[in-house]
C-alpha cells in the first residue's frame, strides 16, 4: 500500500498539523466502480483512492450473482435492453440502457484481461466457454459469474491490480467529509476535507478531478444486506455541494436475505431461483404464481412485495426458498458459498428450505450524471450505486449493478483523460477549524438517533408506503436534523457523527422523492396511489442556491 506516497507532508509532523495531499484524480470509494476507474486512469496521472474501511470491504465484495452481458449467440443486445426497460417499470432512460448493454461485453472482456475468474464450462464442440446463468427479469442466460461469490472474486482481483500500481496511492480508513468549492468558479471543486480515522484529524486532499464511488445508502434502513459503510456519503456530499439527485424513492429490497440470528447481512442470490429454487410457505406450498405469471423469476420488487404480503397475511417471521429438489452435487457445485454458510448454521440446503426475508439492498437513485458520469459540477464525477444514470429506472434488474460500475468507470476515465491538459488556477484551501470544538462525551445520543432513524425509515418508508407514513417520517427527520445541529456542532468529528449526518440527509431526500411520486411503480408502492401514472418522469430534487460548500468545521448544513 502506498498510503502516503502523494502526501505533501511527512508522518513525523505533529498530530495537530494541517495536512494537505494532492493528486490529479481523487476517487472516493474502493469498490468495483472506484477500482475500475483507478486502473483505467493510472497509466496517465496520479490517483488517490480513498477507502472508508479497507480496500476489501464494501458492497462489491458481497455481490453474489454475477454481471450481465450478451455472450450467447441466441441472446441479443436488444433483448438485454428490453428486459432492463421492463424490469425498470419503463422509467429507465432508454439511451442509457442501450449504451450500457452495447458496452457490456467489452467491459467484461476488460475484466477478464485483468484476471477475474469467471466460471467456464465445456461446450458441445469440446471448447471452453463461459458458464452463463439466469436471474429474475432476464429472458436468456447472460450472467457471467464466479460460482456464487462473483463480487468477492472481482474485488480481490481489482484490489491486487490497484495495490501494485505505482500511480495509485491508497488511503485506507479515511472518511470524506465535504467537497471544497472554488471561490473563482462555483461550478468546480478544488478538493475534499477528509477525516483520517487512524490519526483522528481532518486533512485536505487537493485534486483536479473528483469521483464519487461511495456506493449506496441502504444503511438508512433497519434491515439491510449492505455492509456498515453503505451510509450514503457521496449522495449527501454531492447534495450539499449543489448537485441534483433523482429517483431516491426507489430503494430495492432484496427479496431473499437469510433469516437467522447469526446470519447478519447474508444474501441468498437470485441465481438460486434462476436454477429452479421456489419460494414456499413453511409447509412447502409455493405462492409466487398468485402474484406474477413469471412466478419465482419475477423481478425483485414483485418478489419482495409478495414475501412481505405473505409474511403479514400469515403473521410469519419469514418465508422459505427451496432448491432441495435439485441434485445435491449440483447445488454444492453451483452455490458452494451459500451451502457452506447455511451448513454452518445447521441448515442443509440440499435437504431443506432456506428461511428468508426481504432486506434493503440497492439504491436505484442517486447523484444525477450523464453518459460520461459527469455531475452538475464541472470536475466532479459519480460512478456506481452513488449515481443516478437512468439505467435502473424504478427497479434494478439483477446483475446490472456491477455492469454499470464497470461501463461507467471506463466512460468516466475516457472523459477525464481527454481533459488532463486543462490547468485550473491554484487556489488556497482553508484548513479545517477545530478551535471551538471539544470531544463528545455523549456518544450514546448519536447511537440513539442512529437507531431511531433506521427504525422509522423501515416502518414508514419501507416496502409498502402511505402518504401519512411519509409525512410522519419527514417530521421525525426534521427533529433529528435539529438535534444534530444543536448537540453535535460543538464536537469533533467521528465516524458515527459523519455517517449519521449523511444518513439523515439521504433519508430526507428519499422521503421527499417518495412524496413527489403520486403513483405506484417498481420499487415504490404507495397504498394511497396504487396505480401507475401516465407519462411518469424521474423524481428530481434540486438544491437551493444557498446550499453551497460548508465552511471548514461546519457540520450543521441541512438546508434543502
Give tens-digit pLDDT for 99-156. 999 999 999 999 999 999 999 988 888 888 999 988 878 999 999 999 878 989 999 9
H helix runs in 275-335, sequence order: 300-314, 328-334
What is the pLDDT, as a whole number, of residue 336?
92
What is the pLDDT confidence band of residue 440, given thresholds at 50, 70 and 90?
Answer: low
Split at pLDDT 50, 70, 90, the class of 553 is low
- The catalytic residue positions are 300
Question: Judging by beta carbons within 10 Å of its beta carbon (0-12, 13-18, 19+), is residue 530 exposed, middle or buried?
Answer: exposed
Q: Annotate 210-246 with b (16+ C-beta within 10 A) or e (fewer).
A: bbbbbbbbbbbbbbbbbbebbbbbbbbbbbbbbbbbb
d(CA 295, CA 290): 8
For residue 471, is pLDDT > 70? yes
- Average pLDDT, rounded, for the chain: 90
Considering the domain 21-250+364-418 in this protein, what is its CATH number?
A: 3.50.50.60
Provide mean pLDDT across the span 487-493. Answer: 69
CB 153 within 8 A of CB 62: no
- Rounded average pLDDT over 372-381: 98
How far apart CA 34 and CA 174 sit, in angstroms, is 15
Q: Tell me the mean pLDDT in the region 54-79.
A: 88
Task: Indicate the pairing of strand 366-368 with strand 387-388.
Answer: parallel
pLDDT of 2: 38
Domain 256-360, CATH 3.40.718.10 — does that match? no
pLDDT at 289 over 90: yes
Determine contact, residues 377/205, Cβ cutoff 8 Å.
no
pLDDT in tens, 327-345: 999 999 999 999 999 999 9
Q: Which residue has the higher pLDDT, 559 or 182?
A: 182
Q: Which of 48-57, 256-265, 363-372 has the highest mean pLDDT?
A: 363-372
Indicate the pLDDT class of residue 441, thresholds 50, 70 and 90.
Answer: low
For the residues 463-478, what does the mean pLDDT come to?
Answer: 95
Domain extent listing, the chain: 21-250+364-418, 256-360, 443-530
Q: Does the pLDDT value for residue 477 go beyond 60?
A: yes
- Three-state SS at 325: coil
Among residues of the chain, what percentage have pLDDT more than 70?
92
pLDDT over 70 at 12, yes or no? no
Say if CB 437 and CB 491 are below 8 A apart. yes
Give me the half-sphere count of Cα atoms (radius 13 Å) on the Cβ side of residue 155.
18
- pLDDT of residue 349 exceeding 50, the answer is yes
CA 448, chain centre distance (Å): 25
Specify whether the CB–CB gap between 364 and 394 falls below 8 A. yes
pLDDT class of 176 with cuts at 50, 70, 90: very high
Most confident of 77-81, 136-140, 316-320, 555-559: 77-81
The pLDDT score that the predictor gives to residue 388 is 98
The set of residues, in sequence order, having a beta carbon less than 8 Å from that of 225 and lying 6+ positions away, is 62, 218, 254, 257, 265, 266, 267, 359, 360, 361
Q: Where residue 367 falls among pLDDT bands split at 50, 70, 90?
A: very high
The predicted model scores a pTM of 0.88
Provide CATH code, domain 443-530. Answer: 1.20.58.100
Among residues 215, 236, 237, the alpha carbon closest in space to that of 227 is found at 215
> What is the rounded CA–CA span in Å between residue 396 and residue 522?
9
Residue 85 makes CB contacts below 8 A (sequence gap 6+) with 92, 94, 97, 393
Is the confidence at residue 548, as pLDDT, over 70?
Answer: no
- The answer to whether the CB of 373 falls within 8 A of the CB of 234 is no
DSSP code for 184? S
Percent of the chain with pLDDT over 90: 72
Amino acid at each position: 500500500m502506498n498510503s502516503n506516497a502523494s502526501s505533501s507532508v511527512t508522518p513525523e509532523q505533529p498530530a495537530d498539523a494541517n495536512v494537505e495531499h494532492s493528486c490529479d484524480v481523487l476517487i472516493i470509494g474502493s469498490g468495483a466502480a472506484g477500482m475500475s476507474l483507478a486502473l483505467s486512469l493510472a497509466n496517465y496521472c496520479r490517483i488517490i483512492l480513498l477507502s472508508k474501511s479497507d480496500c476489501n470491504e464494501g458492497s462489491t465484495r458481497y455481490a453474489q450473482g454475477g454481471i450481465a452481458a450478451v455472450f450467447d449467440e441466441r441472446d441479443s443486445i436488444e433483448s438485454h435492453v428490453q428486459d432492463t426497460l421492463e424490469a425498470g417499470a419503463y422509467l429507465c432512460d432508454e439511451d442509457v440502457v442501450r449504451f450500457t448493454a452495447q458496452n457490456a461485453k467489452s467491459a467484461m472482456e476488460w475484466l477478464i484481461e485483468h484476471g477475474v475468474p469467471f466460471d467456464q464450462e465445456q461446450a458441445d464442440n469440446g471448447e471452453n466457454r463461459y458458464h452463463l446463468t439466469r436471474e429474475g427479469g432476464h429472458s436468456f442466460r447472460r450472467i457471467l459469474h464466479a460460482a456464487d461469490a462473483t463480487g468477492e472474486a472481482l474485488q480481490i482481483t481489482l484490489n491486487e491490480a490497484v495495490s501494485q500500481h505505482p500511480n495509485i496511492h491508497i488511503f485506507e480508513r479515511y472518511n470524506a467529509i465535504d467537497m471544497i468549492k472554488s471561490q473563482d468558479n462555483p461550478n468546480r471543486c478544488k478538493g475534499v476535507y477528509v477525516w483520517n480515522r487512524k490519526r483522528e484529524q481532518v486533512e485536505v486532499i487537493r485534486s483536479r478531478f473528483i469521483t464519487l464511488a461511495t456506493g449506496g445508502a441502504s444503511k438508512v434502513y433497519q434491515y439491510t444486506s449492505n455492509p456498515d459503510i453503505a451510509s450514503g456519503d457521496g449522495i449527501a456530499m454531492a447534495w450539499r455541494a449543489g448537485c441534483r439527485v433523482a429517483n431516491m424513492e426507489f430503494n430495492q429490497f432484496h427479496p431473499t436475505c437469510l433469516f437467522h440470528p447469526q446470519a447478519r447481512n447474508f444474501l441468498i442470490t437470485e441465481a438460486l431461483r434462476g436454477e429452479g429454487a421456489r419460494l414456499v410457505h413453511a409447509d412447502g406450498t409455493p405462492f409466487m404464481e398468485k402474484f406474477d405469471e413469471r412466478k419465482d423469476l419475477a423481478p425483485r420488487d414483485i418478489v419482495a412485495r409478495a414475501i412481505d404480503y405473505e409474511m403479514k397475511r400469515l403473521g410469519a417471521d419469514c418465508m422459505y426458498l427451496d432448491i432441495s429438489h435439485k441434485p445435491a452435487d449440483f447445488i454444492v457445485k453451483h452455490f458452494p458459498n451459500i451451502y457452506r454458510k447455511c451448513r454452518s448454521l445447521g441448515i442443509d440446503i440440499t435437504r431443506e428450505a432456506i428461511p428468508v426475508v426481504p432486506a434493503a439492498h440497492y439504491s436505484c437513485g442517486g447523484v444525477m450524471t450523464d453518459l460520461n458520469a459527469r455531475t452538475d459540477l464541472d470536475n466532479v464525477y459519480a460512478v456506481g450505486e452513488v449515481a443516478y444514470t437512468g439505467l435502473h429506472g424504478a427497479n434494478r434488474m439483477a446483475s446490472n449493478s456491477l455492469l454499470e460500475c464497470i461501463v461507467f468507470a471506463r466512460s468516466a476515465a475516457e472523459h477525464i483523460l481527454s481533459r488532463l491538459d486543462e490547468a485550473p488556477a491554484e487556489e488556497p484551501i482553508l484548513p479545517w477549524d477545530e478551535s471551538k470544538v471539544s470531544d463528545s462525551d455523549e456518544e450514546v445520543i448519536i447511537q440513539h438517533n442512529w437507531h431511531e432513524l433506521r427504525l422509522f425509515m423501515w416502518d414508514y418508508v419501507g416496502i409498502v408506503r402511505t402518504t401519512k407514513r411519509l409525512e410522519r417520517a419527514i417530521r421525525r427527520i426534521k427533529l433529528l436534523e435539529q438535534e444534530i445541529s444543536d448537540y453535535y456542532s460543538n464536537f469533533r468529528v467521528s465516524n458515527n457523527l459523519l455517517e449519521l449526518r449523511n444518513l439523515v440527509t439521504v433519508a430526507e431526500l428519499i422521503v421527499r422523492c417518495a412524496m413527489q411520486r403520486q403513483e405506484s411503480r417498481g420499487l415504490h408502492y404507495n397504498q394511497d396511489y396504487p396505480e401507475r401514472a401516465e407519462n411518469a418522469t424521474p423524481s428530481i430534487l434540486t438544491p437551493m442556491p444557498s446550499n453551497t460548500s460548508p465552511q471548514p468545521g461546519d457540520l450543521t448544513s441541512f438546508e434543502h
